[in-house]
Structure 1
Amino acid sequence: MRGSLLAYSLSSLLRRKARSLALGGGLVFAVGLIAAVVFLTESLRAAAERAHAAYPDIVVQKLVGGRPTTIPQNEADKLGDIPSVRSVAPRIWGYVFVPALQGNVTIVGTGEGASPISMGNGVLAEGRDLQRGAHEMVAGTELAKFLGMLPGDELGLPGASQDAHALKLVGTFRSSLDLWTADVILVDDADARALLGVPAGDATDLAVGLANPQEARVVARSITERIPGARVIERDLLTRVYHLAYGRRAGLVLGATIPAILALLVLAWDRASGVGPEERKEIAVLKAVGWSTSDVLWAKLFESVLVGASATALGLLLGYAWVFWLGAPGLRPALVGWSVLYPRAPLVPAVDLAQLLGIGLAVLGPFVLASIVPAWRAATADPLETMRG
């Protein structure tokens, strides 16, 4: 019996193709937009989790007037004997505005040790590594493409000091964490100081490595006692900040699209809840030939489920293709937050079954209820009165 009702529901949808396509199309777009935002947000959060290991265990900054400023490098000497502290490395990095790009690039000094290309699973893609004192740079592959530069080309960046030199590109590097390396330029510490205006003997911040990361909170308290006024940022806190930032941006994007989504849902509600004269007469004829009210409701339920489930599945596929096949054009800049240099790394799917079911139920539930209630009213009416008009 249920199979016959399902066949009747399918034939009923085919008889009203225009109505079914208009209704399903609106639902597909609404579900696709919501799914794309959810998929992109979860993918970015997963990328932040993967980058967790690349962060220092603790970052120490100096505040003046509530804003970060440079910190003397000799402050690192006060932290070396704290239990569990394995290393304290002064870092020189910051942002330089490039008028030609109308955006910032991130300048990172390579320190006295090896180049930090390996940080964040970075590897040389082309060329070679830096040589100290040669006024050279290694740029992220996306930045080099954006600037149209090849190894051997020179770039003059607006520096905060007259000692800033034009930098020769000697190599490019790529990383699985391109969200953090798309706009990065690696240079010698001396060039970084000249470009950023960091005085000799100072650093942007201190990166603290711990033998036992679980003791980060205890070590952070010790640091604040030894360096009054310092801001201490733990690695877990950075990860939580990224999670909250992506969630907030996703909420803003969805909030901006609420009028369009509501318009589509109102249209769907109107089309689903409106039982026209022809459908009323059809229901009356079915009741007159022996159909029960439950049979009519089952038939209408199958119609709603067929349209809603198909639209939800297509909407989820649309959202998946939009984010993971096309790279989320239009959405990615809004959620990632870059002004000009948008990272191009492929997005990795990170959506679980519960989220898919949540999106599906949020659409199917109201949609089915919107179609069943008017069908029940028509099915419980007197068939003779309905056919008389």
Structure 2
Amino acid sequence: MELKRVVVTGLGAITPIGNSVDELWNNLINGVSGAGPITRFDTTNFKTKFACEVKNFNSADYFERKEVRKLDLFAQYALVAAEQAIKDSGLNLETLDKDMAGVIWGAGIGGIITFLDEARNYAEGNGIPRFSPYFIPKMISDIAAGHISIKYGFMGPNFGTVSACASSSHAIANAFNLIRLGTADVFITGGSEAAINEAGVGGFNSMQAISTRNDDPASASRPFDKDRDGFVMGEGGGALILEEYEHAVNRGATIYCEVVGSGMTADAYHITAPHPEGHGAVKVMQNTLKDAHIAPEEVDYVNVHGTSTPLGDISETKAIKKVFGEHAYKLNISSTKSMTGHLLGAAGGVEAIASILAIRHGIVPPTINLVNLDPEIDSKLNLTPNKAQKRTVRVAISNTFGFGGHNASVAFKVFE
């Protein structure tokens, strides 16, 4: 069976360093940190008092008041990012065959803000079960995909992917594969997350997973640095329009790049820690290259998972060396989480955008806050420290790995 080609024709983003794709990209290549003191709740009694919050986002600018009552913040981010991507794509919604258009959207946690609010109201109401009728449909992780499909009338495949921090990469990979197989012509895909509340921060604090560098939040997300002490929580959404090649060409679409491969594996090792030798990460990149029919030497840039955790950064760089061999030293490697923070289930969507724009503009975003390299990480690797680097990027790979040992990678290639 001959597989169809898949291209990217639209992008949309709501992030801690920009509420549009252009703003996100400008801040990425200029090394801007999105971290700052948490404004959503009183952090007096919390170990971590900062995060990468989305800024200048007013729900009333996008939704009617009655709509806001039905939408958790993660779903709001999803709808706004998706709308940007649809507009960017130039799709004609009047003539589009909506039976052949679908939505696959990732969220690792979903409506945790709604869950905490409802639980708090119940506790404060002396146990009287006065729950909102919107509680369940606001909270469930698949609801963002549902809202997007309802808004645009897309009646093709529609579901949510939930695999922790790999969620939106799994969404992109699934959309890619279904278009290749001829199941759909167009997908809105990506992911969103909004988990910066007492439960989200407190839960990650109890795991000792997030940084407590409260005296200098902007430097707290420091992948590969020996002084890293955990990731910085982020939030937002990243949307991509994936389209079958002929469908895109026939309507004269602007094409950002081609999606050429994907991989999915499991560590089968630990609920939160990566395999110390990166076995799952090795296999997922190898599978992606095999699927894309690309040799390791053809890859120019790897946008790494790179969370700024003590174990994860080491295992991922080991994996890259195993997959790419001597070519690992010719790659650009960077973690854009150093600027956006860790967007959890939305990470893959936003980092896919960063990878695509690196191809489009010939610029690799930096890993900021890399001051003292961890001695356990090979100093000969080009981790794109602190400043963006210009280079021709023909092939980029985006890695995301999630709690539970979920690994996903997607390969993007210059469109020819």
Per the shorter chain, which TM-score range? under 0.3
TM-score, normalization by structure 2: 0.21
- Structure number with larger C-alpha Rg: 1
TM-score, normalization by structure 1: 0.22
